[in-house]
Chains A and B, each alone.
Chain A
C-alpha cells in the first residue's frame, strides 16, 4: 500500500515540475535556516563541553545593594472661603524612595561567604574577562584573559589538547602559569600542537608559562570564552584587597544534580537577606542575583539583571519570531497543497467509491506530503551543512562555532515531520470529507 502511495506521490511531483520546485524551494530554504538556527542554539545552549553539566550550575554575577527611605512631603493649600476668610489645609504625603546599585562581586565577599554554601558540590571564583592587547613582532593580537581559581577546571570540563590545568598550589602561590586555547596558541605561537606547552607568553609585561592547551569552546559564553586563563591570585593584588562589596569577580556554583540548584539558590537568597551590613553603610540590604543556565543565558543576551524578567524578555519574543518564520512558508505550502489536492477530486472520489475510508484518504495525502517534505528536507540538510561549514571555516560568527552534533539532526528530523503534518493535514482533512457523488459527475 505504501509502495503504491510512494509511487503515486513521486509521479504527482514529476507531473507538476513548477509546483514541485516552488514547494521544494520553500521547504528546503526554511529548513536550512531552521537548521542553522538550531545549530546556533545548540552551540550556545546545548549540552556541550565545557558546560556539559550546564543544568547543574548556578551563576552569580551581580550583587545589588538597596535602601528604602521614606520622604515626608507637607503640602499646604490655601482656600478662600465664602466669608472672605482664608483657610489653610495641610496634607502629608509619604513617598517610598528605593535606591539601589548593582555590580559584580568583591573577592573578599566571595572568599568569606561562598565557600560554605552547603548545597553546592563545587564552586569556582573567576574574574571578569579582560581584553588584553599583545604586541608581537609588530602585530597586535587581542586576547581575552581570565583569572580563575583551580576549581575552575573541575567545574567546567574543558577538553585539554595538551598539557594540564594549573593546580591549587599554582593558584595559592600565584605561579605565573597559563592555560590557553588553540586559538590563542595559533595567534601567539603560530601553532596549536603540543610544542606550545612550557613556552612563555608576555601579557601586560608579565611572563606566563603555558601549562595547558584547551579546545576552543563552541559557545561564546562570558564564563568560558577566554583565550588565556591565569591563576586567580596572580591578578593585581589591589583587586583582591578591595574592601568594598563590589569588585570584578563572579562565582559559579555547581550542584550534584540539576534539581540541587534550587537548594543553592535558596541558600544564596538566605545569605543575602541576612547579610550584616556595617551600621554606617548607606545601603541596608543586599541581593545576590543568581541564575541557572537558561536564566543566565537570557540575562546575558538581553542585559537584564533580574533572571525571571530576562527569561521572559528573551524567550517569548524569540519563540513568537520563530513561529512566524515557520508559519509563512507553512501557510504558503498549505495553499499550494489545497489546490493540488483539489485537482485530484476525481481520484479521491473513485478511491472512496471503492471502499477507502476518510482516514485512508487522510493518510495517503499526509504520506505524499511527507515524501515531498522529506525530499525538501534532504536538500535543506545539504544546504545547511554546507552553510554551517562555510560559516565556521571563514569565522563569520567570530567567537561562535556552529555545531553539527547528532542533536541538530534529531531537531531536524522532528522539524521535517512537524512541517509535513502541519502543511498536509488541512488539505488532506478537507479532501477526506468530499462528497463522492458530486466529484464523479
Chain B
C-alpha cells in the first residue's frame, strides 16, 4: 500500500491542455499461478472538452482503462495525470476528494440506491462536500432539470423506466460539476430509442458545459456521434 498523497488542486481546467493523460499504463492481475495482462503500454491523451469513445471486444480492457482513468483502480505501471495533476497515491482521503470534485461516473446498470428518492440519489456526491442541505437540494434539482426529470424528483428508482434511471444517474454524475465524466456503456441496457435520448443528453453536456467525456460502448452508432474513437484489442490500442 502506498501512503503518499496526491497533491491535487481542484476545479482548474487546463485550457487547451490534456484533461486525461495516460503514459505507458499497464495493468496486470496476478493470482498465485498466473498473471493476466489487462492493459499494456497504453498511451492516451484526452484533451479538455473532448468526447471520446472507446470500443473493443469483451475482455479487451475497456473497463479496466476506464477504472484507471476514474482512479478506482490502480495501474501496475505507467503514470496517470488528470486535470494537469499527476496521480500518485491511491489510498488517501485526497484521492476521494479528487474523485468527488473532478469525476462523475455513469454505469451500465445505473447503480442507483433503490431506498433513496431520485433527488436523494442525485445529491449523493454532494454529501461528501461541505455544503448546506438547501444548497445540495438546489443543485440536485438543477441537475435533474438538465436531464429533464424535474417532475420525478420525489419518485423512487423502481418507479422509473431504464432510460429515466440512466438520466438520474447522469444527473448524479453532473451534480458536482466535475471536469470529467466517465461512462461505462451508458446505453448498454437501453433500447435504441432510449439510448439515443441518453446520447443526446451527453452530447449536450459536452457541448454546453465543456465537460470532457470518456465513454465505453459496444455500439458503433453511438461511437460515431463522438469526437474520436479509440479501439482496443487484448489490452492494446489498435487505433
Contacts and interface: CB of A to CB of B under 8 A. Distances in A.
Interface stretch (A5-13, A315-323, A396-404): A5-13
B99 A354 contact: yes
Contacts of B70: 353
A355 B126 CA distance: 9
Contacts of A355: 96-97, 99-101, 125, 128-129, 176
Interface in A154-170: none
Contacts of A352: 72, 96
A349 B115 CA distance: 16
Contacts of B72: 352-353, 436-437, 440
A354 B128 contact: yes
Contacts of A8: 113, 115-116
A12 B96 contact: no
B111 A360 contact: no
A367 to B, nearest CB: 13
Interface in A255-280: none
B73 interface: yes
Contact of A357 (B93, B107, B120): B93
B177 interface: no
B86 to A, nearest CB: 20
B34 to A, nearest CB: 18
Interface in B74-128: 93, 96-97, 99-101, 103-105, 107, 111, 113, 115-116, 120, 123-125, 127-128
A328 interface: no
A3 B123 CA distance: 13
B96 A350 contact: no
Given A353-B72, A354-B99, A440 B111 contact: yes
B67 interface: yes
A440 B115 contact: no
B16 interface: no
Interface residues on A, range: 20 to 34
Nearest to A350: B111
A354 B105 contact: yes
A3 B105 contact: no
B111 A346 contact: yes
Contacts of B111: 346-347, 349-350, 440
A351 interface: yes
A343 to B, nearest CB: 11
Interface string A323-360: 00000000000000000000000110111111111011
Contacts of A7: 116, 120
Contacts of B101: 355
A354 B172 contact: yes
Contacts of B103: 353
Contacts of B99: 353-355
A81 interface: no
A12 B116 CA distance: 10
Nearest to B68: A437
Contacts of A350: 105, 107, 111, 113, 124
A347 B110 CA distance: 11
A12 B113 CA distance: 11
B113 A3 contact: no
B73 A12 contact: no
Contacts of A15: 115
A431 to B, nearest CB: 15
B146 to A, nearest CB: 17
A347 B115 CA distance: 10
B16 to A, nearest CB: 27
B105 A4 contact: no
Interface in B31-84: 63, 67, 70, 72-73
A441 B64 CA distance: 11
Interface string B131-154: 001000000000000000000000
Most buried by B among A12, A15, A354, A357: A354
Interface centre among B70, B93, B116, B127 (most CB of A within 10 A): B127
B124 A357 contact: no
Contacts of A349: 111
Interface string A357-396: 1011000000000000000000000000000000000000
Nearest to B72: A436
Contacts of A440: 72, 107, 111
B125 A354 contact: yes
Name which of B93, B100, B111, B120 has the most chain A CB atoms within 10 A of its CB. Answer: B111
Contact of B67 (A1, A3, A346, A437): A437
B120 A1 contact: no
A436 B72 CA distance: 6
A351 B67 contact: no
**Candidate in A355, A356, A436, A437 with the most chain B CB atoms within 10 angstroms:** A355
Contacts of A11: 115-116
Interface in B1-24: none
B105 A353 contact: yes
Given A347-B113, A437-B67, A4 B127 contact: yes
Contacts of B124: 350-351, 354
Nearest to B104: A354
Interface of A: 1, 3-4, 7-8, 11-12, 15, 346-347, 349-357, 359-360, 436-437, 440-441
30 contacts: A1-B127, A4-B116, A7-B116, A8-B115, A11-B115, A12-B115, A346-B111, A347-B111, A347-B113, A350-B107, A350-B111, A350-B124, A351-B128, A352-B96, A353-B72, A353-B105, A354-B104, A354-B124, A354-B125, A354-B128, A355-B97, A355-B125, A355-B128, A356-B96, A357-B96, A436-B72, A437-B67, A437-B73, A440-B72, A441-B63
Closest 8 CB pairs of A and B: A355-B100, A11-B115, A354-B125, A436-B72, A355-B128, A437-B73, A350-B111, A357-B96
Given A12-B115, A436-B73, 4 more contacts: A4-B127, A8-B115, A352-B96, A355-B128
